[in-house]
Each structure stands twice: as C-alpha cells, then as structure tokens.
Chain A
Amino acid sequence: MEMNGGQALMQSLEREGVEIIFGLPGGAILPVYDPLLESSIRHVLVRHEQGAGHMAQGFAQATGKPGVAMVTSGPGATNIVTPLCDAHMDSVPIVVITGQVPYAAIGTDAFQECDTTGITMAVTKHNFLVTEASDIPQVIHNAFHIATTGRPGPVLVDIPKCVVDPRNPRSKLEWYEPEGPDLPGYNPQTAPDADAVAAAGRLICEARRPVIYSGGGILKSRASEALLAFAEMVQIPVVTTLMNRGGFPDDHPLCLGMPGMHGNYTAVTAMQRSDLLITLGARFDDRVTGKVDAFAPDAKVIHVDIDSAELGKVRVPEVGIAADCRKAIEALTAAVAALGGRDAQPDRREWMSTIAGWKERYPLTYDQDLQGDVIKPQYVIEELRDATPDDTIVCAGVGQHQMWASQFWSFNHPNTWINSGGLGTMGYAVPASIGAKAGCPDRMVWAIDGDGCFQMTAQELVTAATERLPVKVAILNNAFLGMVRQWQELFYGERYSEVHLTESLPDYRGWAESMGCEAMRITAPAEVRPAIEKANEINDRPVVIEFRVDPEENVYPMVPAGASNDDIVLSPDHLG
C-alpha cells in the first residue's frame, strides 16, 4: 500500500502497541500531527516538552511498557534532553520522536534546526536520523526493540520534515511490515552462564552473613516474584535500593529497606558487615557504596546484571553473571535447591539476631508533637501512607522529600515507587505522576513534591486537568531548597547561600486552583489526615495540598558524601 511517511510513522507506532503519546507540535513535526487525527493513539498535549519526556518515563515505570513522546525540532528537541538523560541513567524504556528540518536544509542553520542526534548521542541508548521515508517502518521497529530489550533505555528517532510531508515526493513509500529488528550489532545476552550460576550457588551455601543487594534490574526484568521465592528459600535478608523500592515487599520480615547515603542503619550496616553480597540488578552506585574502598570490606560479591559493562566497573565480583535478572534468579534458585535449598544453608541465627537487634535499636525516627502547630514532613508521609490504598503509586521529586518518601512509605508492590534516581532531576514528580496515571487510570497516584521541585514543572497540572488525569500532589513546603540547605547546615558551617524560597510566594493554593485543580493549604498536624482523606475522594480533577512543614528538619541517617558507610550519622534523636 502506498502512503506517506507521516502515515507510516503512525501505523508503525500503532503496530508497536502504542496507546498514548505525550507531546507538543511545531513546524518540523506538523506533518505527523495531521495523520494523528485519524489514529487510534491518544495524544496528551503537554505544556513543556520536558513534561512530555517525564510523562513517558512515568508511564513506562508504572506499566513496564515503553513510553512515547513526540516533539518538534530545535527547542522542542533540546527541551527533552533532560528526560532522555534521566531515562538513560535509570534505564527507563522510552522512545522519543523529534521533528527535524527538511533533509536539504540540515547543516544550513535553518530555522529551528539543531543537531539533535549529535546532542543526544551521549544521553540515549541509541538514536536514529531517518533519511528515507521507506526506512520509517524498520527504524521504528528497531527503536522499540532497542528501548525495551537488554538493559532498557531511551531511544530517539529524528525525522526530517521532507520524509513525512505529503506534499514532498520524498515522503512516498510502499508500506511493509518489518520482519524483525535489523540490528547486526545488537544481540543482548539474557541467559545466565551455568558454571557461574553453580559457583554462585556454592558461595551462597557457604555464606555466614549474606545480604541480597537488590536494585532496579529487579523491576526491569519483572523479577519480584522470583526474588521473593529465592529469598524465602535461602532465608537471606534483602536490601532494596532507591530504584527497587517495592521490588521486594517492605512488610516482609526479610526486608531491610533502603541502603545508601540516606538508607536506614540496618540496611547500611548489614551490607558493611556482610560476607557475601548477592547483587541482583544493582550497580554499586556511589550513593549506595559511600567510599568505595571502605564498602563492605569482608564481602565476596556475586553480581548479576544484564549489562556486562557493569560487572567489575566499580567492584570486582567473585562471580559475575551477565544475564537477565529474572532468569538468573530462577537459575540461582534451582542451583541452590539442587544443593539442598534451605537445608544447605549454614546456621545464620547469630547474623539474623544481630540484624534484628539493629532494627530494634536504630529505627527511623522523627518527633511529631501532635498538639503543637509544627508539621513534620515525615508525619505527612506516614499519614499519606496510612490513608491511601496499599497499591498507590508514589512519585517523588528530588531532595529531602524524596528521601523521606522512600524511607517512610511502605512499598509492598512492584512499580509503585517512581523517582529520578541516577540523574536526580528536580521537577520529576508532577509530570511522572501524570504519565503513571495515564498508564494506570484505576490506581491512585500521589506525587510527593518539594516546593522547589514543584516550581520547576507545575505547569503540567494544566495538562492533567485538561486531559482528565486526576493525580494528587502533596507539596512539602519547607520554604527551602531543603536538601541543599541541609548540606550547608552540616558541611558549610550553617552559611546559607541561595537556598531560601519564600513560604507564601507563590501562593501554591491559588496557583493550583488557577490550573484547574482542587487545592488546600494545611498548616497544623491535626488537619493533615482530614485533608488527605478529602483529596482521596476527589476523582474528577487533580488535587494539590500544600503542607507547610518544619523548615529546619533534616534527613537522617546520613553518610556524608565521600565518607565510609561505617561513619553513618544517626538522627540527633538517637544520641545519648
């Protein structure tokens, strides 16, 4: 069938199962927005292209399916660079379509021309510049294949206007169905090596103080159930990194919660003292290891990652397994079962009771005076957690509120925690929550945001109101760029430089109302729970609650940047 490139692009996206595109049109991508009118695909019109990218990410993180964004050339493309980089760091599968000036104009500094593939080369898993209309079906198929297989990541497809513009003869093509990906250099290995698995199984059955160090690869490979079965068989405690909160249930007795710079004492210390780290889909990020030379000094390491470049990048493993996390865990489970399963495990009662002792002595703490008039931010999170369904999807910005949300929420289901881990992009919460809601319309979606973050991407609440994507936003307004303020307090002798935001400017409630949201301002502890309950009842529009919280509260525990995890600093409440 003869058609033009714009039609072929739409048909290709439909063929990949795309149901929703987040985007914003402009000159170079105009010819694609025309056949969109005939397409079954829903389009969500964003207010800023960064929002489109983060929505695609939120959609992907909530559903496990690839998110799609479409923007125009030049500024449209540059506005989406941050989400691309964010998705690259957190291995989130998104496909971004960018318009480009006509082929003949490339390199002439044409209006709204930029070197999109050049700019995004370092922040994508791969990118394509389409040169012929007839390439479109194959390139789109390749793009989705790359984004969703192996270690997932962002793929960008840059499409010059001439190959999609029906008035240009270059846009004509004969439609065809690609037979499969055409990528001779791309062949991700997913099956674990049997010898390595056997060696890992033996290490597990010898370990006296093992810890399962589980990361984002668990969610990417849908390995939560496999992980649960494995951990229960061997009875080994599990830490869940910031990228895998919910990948193993927080309410499980073997769960130790989050390790790292703001991890809890037990998770951090159990890793430090362990003699075997069973690393599953995690990458020894500096925020987890602290000073690398001092990290888990007595531990042997089993490292499973689908990206073989991660094996030995930071810490040289005793056993490295380059494979899909789920397949590797299933193989490990079988290998340990063959050795005797639970019966083959050494006596670890001492280790388990040491851990239980830490849990009891060093819980996460804060001090909320319920009669007083100061709201502690952690209290808001605990009330939110307790007043919402267990499978609520929680999205966070970046800063103190993100750490408190990760610490104090109880994540018991995979893909319920969505945040920007690797890049740490302020402003992630609002657009990511909209993308998550679009992907999971029947689930409750709460964004937990800082006042600084909120000001970076709040305009997307207009998108949420218009598109009827009723997300809920809790702003923890501490009137500061709080995380930076905390560092200045602790490491710069309380010399506060450019971290103060004004408590009442902007007027968050008025601003949210003007964007079509229901809005509330809460200033006393007693009002917290009723406000959340009221918000939970509203389903026809977005809700924003501004909580005025203690401006001076700090996140603890904390391992100062560059310090050893042994030097973890507890909350001052623990002193004495």
Chain B
Amino acid sequence: MVDKRRLHTLVVLVENKAGVLARVAGLFARRGFNIESLAVAPSADPRISRITLATAATPLDQVIKQLDKLINVVSIRELQPEDSVERELLVATVRAFPETRSQVMDLVRIFDARVLNVGHDKLMVSLSGGPNRVDDFESLLEPFGIVELQRTGKVALPRLASAGGEVGEF
C-alpha cells in the first residue's frame, strides 16, 4: 500500500466514448504507475464523463501533461484535499453472530451507516463519507470478520467557499 499522503486526486473530464478509459488507464500502465482509486460516470453533460482518480505517480506534472495529450481528454485538474469535498461509498458484509450483532449495530449507529441486508449471522452495511471516515469504519469492522467488501473509489468536487464557515459540510 502506498502512503496515502503521497496520493494526488485528479479530476479528468473526458469524452464519453468507447475506449477512453482504456487510453487513460493505458497511459498509467505503460509507465508502470498504479491508479489507487478510480471512479467514472457521465457528468451533468452526457457527452462528457468525469473521472476521479487517485495516484502516487511522479512526476505529477508529467503525468498531467501526458494525460492532456490524449485527444479525448477535455480537461484535467488536481484537487487539493483542503480545497475539495471528497466522498466514498463502502458496502461490506460483516459477520454478526448473536453475541456480536449489537456491537456491529453500535458501530453502524455511531458512524451513521446503514444496514442494507440482514442474514442469520451476517449483516450487509454501507457507509458513505470522506475517505478517512470510511477507513476508520472499515478498520473497526475488521475484528468482527469482513466476508466481502467493496469501496467505490473516491469522488470529489471543489469546495464551494471557505469564508466564515458559511457553507458547511454535510
């Protein structure tokens, strides 16, 4: 695992066309760089997809310039954590035996997570939040026994305003 502090978040707007993700991913792969997390979906404009990716690739400046050379890439922007709001979704199936179920439920309540599905000795839970909060939740679930887990990779948008705390984070 890479040191999370070295990860950069890039928001890449691309044409919403077949093969574009392969071009972006291929550019990283050819240089031996890993993409730590990735989220892709159409933006408000259906012709444009928004890719949010986290990478430790260096030098970042070269990565951005090379990405920019891809014909289908419309724009690239690096988001600094302090200037952006990040969200990630976690869905996990956790062991929840009669003697531990209430402890799992406590965690769900504390984190404001949700129960999606209930089995005899398992619970499926979900949490959306900032990556740190999702990390904490995941590590606290671990001792109970995680059967399966999927995180979406983070999405991010620039913060609207920082002045006077007028705009809060919900």
Contacts and interface: CB of A to CB of B under 8 A. Distances in A.
Interface of A: 117-118, 121-122, 125-126, 129, 131, 146, 183-186, 307-309, 312-313
B65 A185 contact: no
Nearest to A131: B18
Contacts of B18: 129, 131
Interface in B68-96: 68-75
B139 interface: no
A184 B15 contact: yes
B23 A312 contact: no
What is the interface of chain B mostly: helix, strand, loop, or mixed? mixed
A348 to B, nearest CB: 35
Interface in B1-29: 14-15, 18-19, 22-23, 26
Contact of A185 (B61, B66, B70): B70
B26 A121 contact: yes
Interface residues of B, number: 22
A128 to B, nearest CB: 9
A307 B69 contact: yes
Contacts of B22: 118, 121
B30 A122 contact: yes
Interface of B: 14-15, 18-19, 22-23, 26, 30, 47-48, 61-62, 65-66, 68-75
B26 to A, nearest CB: 6
A131 B72 CA distance: 17
B15 A117 contact: no
Contacts of A146: 71
Contacts of A118: 22
A291 to B, nearest CB: 20
Given A309-B66, A313-B62, A185 B71 contact: yes
9 contacts: A121-B22, A122-B30, A131-B18, A185-B70, A309-B62, A309-B65, A309-B66, A309-B68, A313-B62
Nearest to A184: B74
Contacts of A122: 26, 30
Contacts of A307: 69
Given A309-B62, A309-B65, A185 B74 contact: yes
B93 to A, nearest CB: 34
Contact of B14 (A121, A185, A312): A185
Contact of A126 (B47, B71, B74): B71
B74 A308 contact: no
Given A122-B30, A185-B70, A312-B61, 9 more contacts: A121-B22, A121-B26, A184-B47, A185-B14, A185-B71, A186-B71, A307-B69, A309-B62, A309-B65
Contacts of A185: 14-15, 70-75
A185 B17 CA distance: 12
A185 B23 CA distance: 14
B71 A183 contact: yes
A118 B19 CA distance: 9
B156 to A, nearest CB: 21
B22 to A, nearest CB: 7
Given A185-B15, A309-B66, A125 B71 contact: yes
B19 A129 contact: yes
A538 to B, nearest CB: 46
Q: Pick the most buried of B47, B48, B69: most chain A CB atoms within 10 A of its CB.
A: B69
A365 B127 CA distance: 76
Contacts of B19: 117, 129
B65 to A, nearest CB: 4
A343 to B, nearest CB: 38
A287 to B, nearest CB: 21
Contacts of B75: 185
A518 B48 CA distance: 59
Q: Can you list the 9 inter-chain pairs with the closest CB atoms, starting with the nearest?
A: A309-B65, A185-B74, A126-B71, A186-B71, A185-B73, A185-B72, A184-B74, A309-B66, A308-B65
A117 B26 CA distance: 12
A184 B72 CA distance: 8
Nearest to A182: B15
Nearest to B61: A312
A117 B71 CA distance: 14
Contacts of B15: 184-185
A309 B69 contact: yes
A145 B95 CA distance: 58
